[in-house]
Structure 1
Amino acid sequence: MSTSSLSSELSSARRSYTQRNPISLLAYEDATKSLPGGGTRSSIFIHPFPLFIERGDGVDIIDLDGHSYKDFVSDFTSGIYGKTDPIIKEAIIKGLDNGTQLGGHTTTESKLASSICSRFPSVDLVRFANSGTEANILAISIALHHTKRKKVVVFKGGYHGSVLSHFGEEEKEKEAEGANGGDLKVPYEYIVCPYNDISATRSTVNRHVGEVGAIIVEPMLGAGGCIPGTIEFLRGLRELSDETGSILIFDEVQTARLSTGGRQKILNIIPDMTTLGKFFGGGFAFGAFGGKKDIMSLFDARSPSSIAHGGTFNNSPLTMIAGLSAIESILTEENLNKLNDLGDDMRNRLNDSFAKEELPFKMTGLGSVNQLHCLLSSETKKEGLELLFFYLLERGYWIAQRGLISLNFAMTELDVIGFEDSLIESARSVKGFS
């Protein structure tokens, strides 16, 4: 069929979405009076307007209009525990009795730090922050301070937080269209290299010998499409960092869920520093950055030349309690392996079905974090993915509009099989209009 058929069907799907969600629409219109665009988080915006969620239970979320969805976004990988994990809930309730803000050190803070250090091979010492974004800014900043250099190597498609993204071609397309939008960036001196191309990266970095202080990389691109870094590429970065005297930072904010020690443990490729976030706070705002002792000791307040690092909520009591309970009782090797096997099996089955039926989709990723890609022409692939999103909503499944799929511990194998069936049906419908 023609491109106009796909566009027409997408317009119809948007109208149906609007008609089914009148209360969310009213809530959104009210929110725009005090929030730009009706919210404070760009990644969860949905065109033409976002659903407003009333509550969650286990694997389900329920919107203001009473629709229930199986949540296959899991709050963009951070909601790994589902909506109402009893272990975390009990820990939080007990923690409330001790006070919500103490303004001092607690043993829970050091126990959580010790647990993280024991898990990640690269982390001798660790500091806490309030988000993965904040952790990455601090890690880059201390790496540049330590090396006394100014340049930072990043990669096309990389995302290290709301002010540290480098989506490459998408940014160029916006510029070509005359758009003034895009992403805010902390003004480091960036050198942007191609992901998974160690030869080109080495060639570029070697032109700046003595200037590069940090190389920051996701072991798998997250927001950039769930593209796993190859062993050759990641190991090559380790060698390049050693050769140039720069600090290699692994952003494992998402890939930390692939094992108890992240992807660095799986591949036995040890960076100088590691950044974490999301689920290590047990559902509360959290970030962490750690690494070699000689780097992290720069924050040691016992030294008269120490680097200051404040943050009122860095050691928030409830975050420390929830995070420690989660890491000790839920984020076990057995549980993570089971969840990641579930995701690998799902991805393999879906890709087999896509290929067999010649459906215009594929899925990439590792373990429990995956991304759907539409294989239609460049002019229609965005519409195809959005149409798939609306079809899945009608069938009771919630994914990110951009195609991200993230599993959580509340899911069963039956939940995943049901999702796969609905996804294949939805993909068949998209194919019919493409």
Structure 2
Amino acid sequence: MTTSTLSAAQPAAPRELTTPAEALAAAAHAFAARNPKSARQYELATGVMPGGNTRSVLFYEPFPLAMTKGEGCRLWDADSHEYLDFIAEFSAGIYGHSDPQIRRAIDAALDDGLNLSGHNLLESRLAKAVCERFTSLQSVRFTNSGTEANLMMLAAARAFTGRSKVVVFVGGYHGGVLTFGRGPNAVNVPHEFLYARYNDVNSVARLLHDNPSEVAAILVEPMQGASGCIVGDRDFLKGLRELATAHGALLMFDEVMTSRLAPGGLQSTLEIVPDLTSLGKYIGGGMSFGAFGGRADIMQLFDPRRSGALQHAGTFNNNVMTMAAGFTGLTQVYTPEAALALTARGDTLRDALNARFSAANVALRFIGVGSLMNLQITDRPVRSVRDIDASLNVFKDLFFFHLLENGIYIARRGYVVLSLPVGDAETARFEAAVASFIERYGHLLPKSKETDRQ
């Protein structure tokens, strides 16, 4: 065979993809080709579950990965691919997948019986640890999720104030039935909600002025997590505290996600004391968990010794696995020192990633606080969901598939979460994957404009 024949037999060089849509289609096709067992698992699931799914946030096209094993900060899927876990169960998995102290606590609890049909010796111990850690909580009650915790906070606020309306924020997320994105949500509970703009205290003042003596509470996340880690300005959040006090409403902080960002939650960093706070995620040690608490005079509404006390049921509110794992995690693993260190690690990583985007002159940035961050397709400040152009989500999708190809697992919406097992080697690998993304797709990415840079 001649040299010219050899050359003719070579496959043509791949054509450079010229549009983001082309690049995304190619990435999705390659993803599907690499994961036939996950595809088969998804096909099986669709036969018995709507869309093969029982948790909407986990779905993505062409099909979601099926995970089979986790260890430390690593995951393995059905096709035996290994990933660095940079989503950490959407912030609940702060301890990783196999913390030995958490495991010993769960094993010890199981040794003494799974369901004890009454009060146990573990629940007040965890309650004391939670109240000591989050000092605005003078007393606390447990639930099975952050969603339940927020529902109970709303019930408490309405009963305590005798009012019916609640101020919430466009882009806010307080659970599966308390979702306030860009439009109506058919599964939301039917409270009387008044919609304000995040980081705009005047929009709240107008609602309070227009609804005198009718607003029971202002419900807010100190950082809007599900909408993309949009950080609340300190002045905005302090303004909410002042408005709530002036109008006789309760200020309720949803710290289900943000409580991890400082030893006493983000409220301790902000130096703002809410009337009620909801917690969840990691505080259960990886088990199903939620909690709400705050001022003693409000929480005493649930005291069963009182005539007419509010009822708060839940078979698994004090289940021994959560009580044991939560106490061990909060007091022995995610100590105040560990919280500060993880927040610092996240800040360092976010700054390094944004420096790479800036140097490449592309209009991409990670926003957030500490160990919680989200990719946004802009290099301008993001103060509310109004500053996020959903038509550019193709770039988040492309980023997601690129990271999967490089063995890194995040949420498709660009949400990134650090867990305690993530160390320097893991963050260095994440940074390298971002660098290769810029190199691979830089010709397609939106460019920064000098006049728009922060």
TM-score tier (shorter): over 0.9
Instruction: Tell me whether 1:193 sits opposite 2:196 in the alignment.
Output: yes
Q: Equivalent residue for 1:144? A: 158
Alignment partner, residue 83 of structure 2: 69
1:287 alignment partner in structure 2: 290
Q: Which residue of the other structure, out of 381, 386, 394, is the alignment partner of 1:383?
A: 394
* Structure 1 segment 22-421 matched on structure 2, within 5 A: 22-168=36-182, 171=183, 182=185, 184-375=187-378, 378=389, 380-421=391-432
Output the CA distance in 1 between the equivalents of 2:268 and 2:181: 27
Could you tell me how far apart the structure 2 residues matched to 1:81 and 1:341 are? 17
Are the equivalent residues in 2 in contact too, given 1:388–1:427 (CA < 8 A)? Answer: no
Q: Is the 8 A contact 2:263 2:337 kept in 1?
A: no
Q: CA deviation at 1:246?
A: 0.7
Contiguous gaps of at least 5 residues in structure 1 = 173-181
Long gaps (5+) in structure 2: 1-14, 380-387, 446-454
Is the contact made by 1:361 and 1:427 (CA closer than 8 Å) also made in structure 2? Answer: no
Distance in structure 1 (CA, Å) of the matches to 2:439 and 2:91: 27
Report deviation, 1:228.
1.1
In the TM superposition, residue 2 of structure 1 has moved relative to its aligned partner by 12
Residue by residue, what CA displacement relative to the aligned partner does 1:57-85 show, whole Å, maximum 9, x if unpaired?
Answer: 11100000000000101111111001100
Contact kept, 8 Å, 1:375 with 1:381, in 2: the verdict is no
Aligned to 1:149, the other structure's residue is in SS state coil
Cα distance in 1 between the residues matched to 2:234 and 2:281: 25
Runs of 4+ that moved beyond 2 A: 1-4, 375-380, 427-434
State how many pairs are aligned: 423
CA contact (8 A) 2:252 2:276 kept: yes
Please report the TM-score for the alignment, with normalisation by the length of structure 2: 0.91
Q: Distance in 1 between matches of 2:389 and 2:366?
A: 17
Retained in 2: the 8 A contact 1:77–1:278? Answer: yes
Paired with 1:414 and 1:234, the residues of 2 have a C-alpha distance of 36
Which whole-Å CA distance do the structure 2 matches of 1:183 and 1:269 have between them?
Answer: 33
SS at match of 1:428: helix
Q: Deviations over 1:331-350 (max 9, x none)?
A: 21111111110000011111
Secondary structure of 1:107's partner? coil
- What is the aligned-residue identity percentage? 42
**In the aligned structure 1, how far is the partner of 2:92 from the partner of 2:167?**
26
Question: Could you state the TM-score of these two structures normalised by the residue count of structure 1?
Answer: 0.95
Distance across 2 between alignment mates of 1:42 and 1:298:
34
> 1:432 aligns to what?
443
Distance 1:431 1:150 in 2: 51
Per-residue Cα deviation, 1:6-49 (whole angstroms, up to 9, x for no partner):
11111111111111000000000100111111121011112111
SS at match of 1:17: helix
Determine which structure has more spread, i.e. the larger CA radius of gyration.
2
* Coordinate RMSD, CA, aligned: 1.7
